C-alpha cells in the first residue's frame, strides 16, 4: 500500500489477529523494545459490518434477489409480520433487502475498503440495473465501524469511490466504541 500523496510505502503497525465470540478483532502490540506499559495507537478499524441496503414501500425481496442474482442476508416484506428472538412482533412499513459482509468474512489483513469490494463483487455491475434500482428504491452502503481503541482509520480509494458512483450508491459510516471484552448487554467473554 502506498501513501496516496507521496507514492511512498505506508507504514502499518504490527498486529496480531484473533477471533473471539465470532468477532474478528485486531490486537495492537507495541513495537519490540517499547517501554513497559506502552500503549499502541493507530491502525485499522478493529471490526466492521458493511451492508448494501435496498428499501422501498412495495419492494419485493424475491424480485430484488432475482435482479441481483444473489440471496439477501436479511429481507422483509411490507406488512408481513416479523418475530424477534425475544418474542415480540413488528410489522414492517416498507420492504427491505440487505446483503452484509462483516470483518469475519474477510481475510486477516482486509480492511473496510476490501469488504466494500467483496460486497460489490457478489453483485452484477450492469449500470442499467443499478439505475433502475436506485430510481425505484432507496439504495446505500452502510458501514458500521467498531473501534476497540482511539485513533483507528481507513480510506476509500478512487477505485472504490468509482465502483459506488457507477452504481449511483451512497456510502455512510457509523462509528462505535467497542472496548475489548464488551460483547453487549448480558453477554460476557
pLDDT digits (tens, 9 = 90+) for 116-138: 999 999 999 999 999 999 999 99
Q: Judge whether residue 29 has pLDDT over 70.
A: no
Per the model's pLDDT, the better-predicted residue between 176 and 21 turns out to be 176
pLDDT at site 40: 66
pLDDT at site 152: 83
Whole-angstrom distance between the N-terminal and C-terminal Cα of the chain? 35
pLDDT at site 89: 93
- Alpha-carbon distance 27 to 25, whole Å? 6
The whole-number average pLDDT for the span 164-173 is 96
Q: What percent of the chain has pLDDT over 70?
A: 76
The overall average pLDDT reported for the chain is: 80
Q: Which pLDDT band holds residue 177 (cuts at 50, 70, 90)?
A: confident
Q: Could you tell me the pTM of the whole model?
A: 0.74
Q: Is 125 exposed, middle or buried (0-12, 13-18, 19+ CB in 10 A)?
A: exposed
Per the model's pLDDT, the better-predicted residue between 84 and 1 turns out to be 84
Amino acid at each position: 500500500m502506498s501513501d496516496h500523496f507521496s507514492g511512498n510505502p505506508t507504514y502499518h503497525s504490527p498486529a496480531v489477529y484473533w477471533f473471539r465470540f465470532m468477532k474478528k478483532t485486531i490486537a495492537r502490540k507495541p513495537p519490540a523494545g517499547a517501554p513497559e506499559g506502552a500503549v499502541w495507537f493507530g491502525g485499522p478499524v478493529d471490526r466492521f459490518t458493511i451492508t448494501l441496503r435496498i428499501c422501498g414501500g412495495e419492494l419485493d425481496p424475491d424480485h430484488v434477489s432475482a435482479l441481483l442474482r444473489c440471496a439477501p442476508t436479511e429481507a422483509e416484506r411490507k406488512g408481513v409480520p416479523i418475530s424477534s428472538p425475544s418474542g415480540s412482533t413488528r410489522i414492517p412499513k416498507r420492504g427491505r433487502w440487505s446483503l452484509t459482509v462483516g470483518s469475519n468474512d474477510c481475510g486477516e489483513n482486509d480492511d473496510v475498503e476490501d469488504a466494500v469490494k467483496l460486497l460489490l463483487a457478489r453483485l452484477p455491475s450492469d449500470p442499467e440495473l443499478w439505475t433502475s434500482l436506485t430510481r425505484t428504491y432507496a439504495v446505500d452502503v452502510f458501514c458500521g465501524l467498531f473501534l476497540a481503541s482511539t485513533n483507528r482509520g481507513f480510506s476509500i480509494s478512487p477505485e472504490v469511490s468509482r465502483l459506488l458512483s457507477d452504481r449511483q450508491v451512497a456510502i455512510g459510516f457509523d462509528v462505535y466504541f467497542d472496548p475489548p471484552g464488551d460483547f453487549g448487554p448480558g453477554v460476557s467473554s
